[in-house]
Amino acid sequence: MLVLLKPGTAEATAIDVMTRLRMAGLAVHRTEHEGRIRVAAIGDLSAVAWDEVKDWPGVESAQKLSRPFKLASRAFHPHDTILSVGRAAIGDRRITLMAGPCSVEGEEQAFTIAAAVAKAGATVMRGGAYKPRTSPYAFQGLGEEGLKILRRAADAHGLSVISEVMDSQQVSLLARYADILQIGARNMQNYALLREVGHTQKPVMIKRGLASTIEEWLLSAEHVMAQGNQQVMLCERGIRTFETYTRNTLDLNAVPVVKELSHLPVIVDPSHGVGIRNKVAPMARAAIAAGADGLIIEVHHDPDHALSDGAQSLFPNQFDELVAQIRTIAEVVGRSI
Ligand code: PEP
Ligand code: MN
């Protein structure tokens, strides 16, 4: 239920309303928009005569939140969420560029790529140390050693770090090295993992599951937020369709749809979305035109020898060129880099 308080409601009255809702067994979350307090009361509404709530002191209206996701919904939180990560304000007017290798492979590789992406304008470095590979025989990542290298390389160039956490038992380890915890597409519905990252105060990026609907994806965000961590962003990375020419089908429809339904920032990953190097830039440009708040792109200085996803990794000069194009497109949609 969404309870909208009257403008200028005294704090004591607001607390009273929230206490009464809590006493009815509901979880209460509060936000403010245009000087007005909004309260989301979540749980079994049968315990409260919710149609009488509108008559409580200080209450202007009380209505059922019709969507299954509540905290992630724009109805509860009308203004855009902006996540502050190092130099980036994700969801702000400025587009956030995250870039780096699919996997951290070693010191030299990570430092070379960090230098290149920082110079091009990225503010966040990506790199996997725990890799969710389809084959158990493929490179699985360097583990904690990879995280150390990634952190050093990023720090040397003033970049923040995003890296994937695959397991709920790895969350505290990842939180020690990364600024953003990435939930991979294969783990979008790993609810134990979502709960665990929900207990941290780290920004979390949830990649869309390979065959997940937008509603399921937003409910994954809700799992994190319901645990108390409101610092969530979503990442469209392509879904499985009947098309086999490209690795996945990048669903750019999701960008304006999610931006309308939710206040959370939306990032697009054209690298995994298309899977073919020379198709990454066109889809990255389209993502920004569609209203994405940022991009996450795989970049490698020697992709032919990359240990994962070389075929979809941009060369540093291609990334550089893409950033220049994004700068122009961003302006057209009222954004900047
Ligand atoms: C990745 O970012 O390298 C990755 C494995 O992505 P996804 O979870 O989208 O497949
Ligand atoms: Mn990859």
pLDDT for the residue numbered 120 = 98
How many angstroms separate the Cα of 140 from the Cα of each of 104, 147, 192, 206, 315?
Answer: 10, 13, 22, 20, 23
pLDDT for the residue numbered 51 = 81
pLDDT for the residue numbered 115 = 98
pLDDT for the residue numbered 136 = 95
pLDDT for the residue numbered 37 = 97
pLDDT for the residue numbered 46 = 85
pLDDT for the residue numbered 45 = 87
**For the CA of 103, the nearest atom of ligand 1:** 3
pLDDT for the residue numbered 71 = 97
**For the CA of 238, the nearest atom of ligand 1:** 9
Q: Could you say which ligand is closest to the alpha carbon of residue 129? A: 1
Mean pLDDT by 10 residues, the chain (337 residues): 96 97 95 94 87 94 94 97 97 98 98 98 98 94 98 98 98 98 98 98 98 98 97 98 98 98 98 98 98 98 98 98 98 97
Residue nearest to atom 1 of ligand 1 (CA): 102
Q: Could you say which ligand is closest to the alpha carbon of residue 184? A: 1
